[in-house]
């Protein structure tokens, strides 16, 4: 194996060895969301004509699970390696910063897609939303997971302890995810909060992903794709820069 392939293989094995925690637990969480919100709001919320609220909820939960677990994979791996001291064994290798980036982000995409597939299989029985544009679904799932995997690397590099990583996740990732239209259409919000939602890149990931299921969305899927691609380019460039300079990992 080349360096990035070996590191990628190691990262995939890392989360797969504890799959009950890293894959099964997020799927169970999504099912609980589906059971609670779907049961309570099914007869009280109408989002799109002829589309039930439960069906509307399925893509949002799938994408939310993909994003959160892609972030958790790279961030937790890096902070654990820093705290336990075994990061030095990776630093001793002649791998470039690009190899690090590709291996960590690719493994985050794998975990995100694995959890997303599990959530979709389980929640499909509740809503059966259909899928009119599978390519859009795949594109937004991969780009979203790659973006959050890159963001997880930034968080893992910045954090020196688990408390800091938890703060990053609780005060940045979680609010942006939950306020991205997972449980509602932004057209149901007041004008001010609609404007705020349009500033949230997570909204475009959720909305573009949902378009692949229904062929309908709050904004154009091409606009969503453009925003996600630009956001990924910016975050990935910054991540590669931190890895190249050895931010908080080389002294």
Note whether 168 and 159 are within 8 A (CB): yes
User: Backbone dihedral region of 181: left (phi > 0), alpha (psi from -120 to 50 degrees) or beta?
Assistant: left
Residue 52 has pLDDT above 90, yes or no: no
pLDDT per residue as tens digits for the range 157-208: 999 999 999 999 999 998 898 888 888 888 778 888 888 888 999 999 999 9
d(CA 250, CA 90): 11
d(CA 227, CA 242): 23
Structure confidence at residue 41 (pLDDT) = 66
Query: In terms of pTM, does the model score above 0.75?
Result: yes
Residues in the chain: 251
Instruction: Give the confidence band of 35 by pLDDT, cuts at 50, 70, 90.
Output: confident
Lowest mean pLDDT among 32-46, 102-116, 140-154: 32-46
Q: Provide the residue ranges of all domains of the chain, joining segments of one domain with +.
A: 3-245
Structure confidence at residue 232 (pLDDT) = 97
Two tokens at 43?
Answer: 């007869």
Residue 153 has pLDDT above 90, yes or no: yes
pLDDT per residue as tens digits for the range 89-139: 988 988 999 999 999 999 999 999 999 999 999 988 777 777 889 999 999
Instruction: Give the confidence band of 45 by pLDDT, cuts at 50, 70, 90.
Output: low
pLDDT per residue as tens digits for the range 53-75: 888 889 999 999 999 999 999 99
């Amino acid at each position: 194996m080349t360096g990035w392939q070996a590191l990628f293989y190691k990262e995939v094995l890392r989360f797969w060895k504890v799959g009950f925690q890293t894959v099964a637990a997020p799927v169970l969480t999504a099912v609980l969301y589906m059971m609670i919100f779907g049961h309570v709001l099914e007869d009280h919320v109408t989002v799109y004509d002829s589309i039930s609220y439960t069906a509307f909820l399925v893509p949002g939960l799938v994408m939310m699970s993909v994003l959160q677990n892609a972030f958790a994979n790279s961030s937790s791996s890096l902070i654990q390696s820093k705290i336990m001291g075994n990061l030095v064994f990776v630093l001793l290798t002649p791998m470039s910063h690009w190899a690090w980036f590709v291996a960590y982000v690719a493994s985050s995409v794998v975990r995100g897609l694995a959890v997303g597939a599990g959530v979709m299989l389980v929640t499909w029985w509740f809503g059966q939303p259909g899928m009119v544009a599978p390519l859009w679904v795949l594109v937004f799932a991969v780009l979203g997971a790659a973006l959050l995997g890159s963001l997880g690397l930034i968080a893992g590099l910045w954090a020196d302890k688990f408390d800091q990583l938890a703060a990053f996740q609780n005060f940045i990732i979680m609010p942006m995810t939950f306020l991205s239209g997972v449980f509602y259409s932004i057209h149901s919000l007041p004008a001010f909060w609609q404007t705020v939602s349009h500033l949230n890149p997570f909204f475009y990931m959720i909305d573009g992903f949902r378009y692949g299921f229904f062929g309908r969305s709050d904004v154009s899927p091409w606009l969503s794709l453009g925003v996600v691609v630009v956001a990924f380019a910016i975050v990935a460039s910054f991540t590669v820069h931190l890895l190249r300079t050895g931010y908080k990992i080389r002294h």
